[in-house]
Amino acid sequence: MSRLLILKSGPLLPIGAVALGIGVFCLMDAAMKQASLGCGVYTALLMRNVLGTAMMAPVWLLQRGRWPAMRLLGIHALRAAVVAIMGLLYFAGLVRLPMAEAIALSFIAPLIALYLAALVLGERVRRGAATASLFGLAGVAVIGAAQLGSGAGPPASPLGIGAILASAVFYAVNLVIQRHQAQLAGPTEITLFQSLFAALFLLPAAPWLFTSLPGHAFVVVALSAFLAALALALFAWGYARAEAQVLLPLEYTAFFWSALFGWMWFRETLGISTIAGAALIVIGCLRAARLAPRAGTQPPLVPVP
């Protein structure tokens, strides 16, 4: 019984939720890449958020969700604006680069967010947390350098690389807002209002950028909307229950999933460098997990259902 209580209140469940959310997000990336290649980045992203809103609204209503206060609504809108810009930049880069290469470039984001969390949220950056992030960054560097310098596959796109690096900055800001947001609202509310506001922010450009959506592309976009909603809910739940600096190194596991889904979906090649880099990433994540406070030393940030 005591072990069960520790599991419920300790860091294992939040770490597991966020790790699963990252894998789901990477699968969503693969679906969005296919949809974006078929109908364009803007159309795929707008429709994903529209469908995501339609999927989450009934769930929110069944849970008797209440309209958020203006302050919280502002936080939802702020994060949605950041996510909308980040998404446009990221998928614009993703259609020009292999998935593993794109995610390798994006991994500057967790390192930026680690220190943004200290600056904005007042979290103390432990020496071990920074070391864990550097382990993960080293793993990404090993794999990314091998892929960028191999000469295999299509040539690297400067526009794609620039878009991914720019999106990483917005992603770092998103991670910090996410931590604050998760303390104030539940996963369903966060997922619904992020999709809703992102769709509203993107909608004004529709007369110029929206293109027709073939039936097969609609199915893939609908799948990506479901995966995005599931991943956002897992992230919101996990970030409400553990410090950002404990969870951020888990972001590096996205490289493994992106390499796997890129190979399965688009036949993008994998090499021995993937194994070597993944080993460093796992070391960093395990190191971060050991840094989590012991059960009972820190109250939950939101009521645990």
Dump pLDDT digits (tens) for 107-157: 777 667 666 767 766 666 666 777 777 787 787 777 667 656 655 545 556
How many structural domains are present in the chain? 1
List CB contacts of 70: < 8 A, sequence separation 6 or more: none
> Can you tell me the distance from the alpha carbon of 303 to that of 305, in angstroms, rounded to the nearest whole number?
6
In the structure, how many helices (H) and strands (E) does the chain have? 14, 0
Tell me, yes or no, whether 76 lies in a domain: yes
CB 78 within 8 A of CB 121: no
| pLDDT of res. 110 | 66
The boundaries of the domain holding residue 240 are 12-290
> Nearest to residue 110, comparing CAs of 83, 134, 143, 142?
134
List CB contacts of 170: < 8 A, sequence separation 6 or more: 82, 83, 85, 86, 89
Q: How many other CB atoms sit within 10 Å of the CB of residue 212?
A: 8
Q: Please tell me the pTM assigned to this model.
A: 0.77
More confident residue, 19 or 124: 19
Q: Is the pLDDT of residue 8 over 60?
A: no
Tell me, yes or no, whether 3 lies in a domain: no
Residues of the chain above pLDDT 90, percent: 33
Q: How many other CB atoms sit within 10 Å of the CB of residue 272?
A: 9
8-state DSSP, 68:
P
Tell me, yes or no, whether 5 lies in a domain: no
Q: Is the pLDDT of residue 278 over 80?
A: no
- pLDDT tens-digit profile of 151-205? 554 555 678 878 988 898 898 888 778 777 877 888 889 889 999 999 999 999 9
Distance of CA 175 to the CA centre of its chain: 8
Burial of 247 by CB count in 10 Å (0-12 exposed, 13-18 middle, 19+ buried)?
buried
Residues of the chain above pLDDT 70, percent: 77
pLDDT band at residue 224 using 50, 70 and 90 as cut-offs: very high
Q: How many other CB atoms sit within 10 Å of the CB of residue 203?
A: 13
> Can you tell me the distance from the alpha carbon of 1 to that of 174, in angstroms, rounded to the nearest whole number?
38
Q: How many other CB atoms sit within 10 Å of the CB of residue 84?
A: 21
Tell me, yes or no, whether 301 lies in a domain: no
Tell me, yes or no, whether 56 lies in a domain: yes
CB 256 within 8 A of CB 19: no
Tell me, yes or no, whether 4 lies in a domain: no
> Picking from 22-31, 48-57, 224-233, which range would have the lowest pLDDT averaged per residue?
224-233
pLDDT band at residue 58 using 50, 70 and 90 as cut-offs: very high
8-state DSSP, 65:
-
Tell me, yes or no, whether 149 lies in a domain: yes
Mean pLDDT of 210-238: 87
Average pLDDT, the chain: 79
Tell me, yes or no, whether 144 lies in a domain: yes
> Picking from 172-181, 266-275, 287-296, which range would have the lowest pLDDT averaged per residue?
287-296
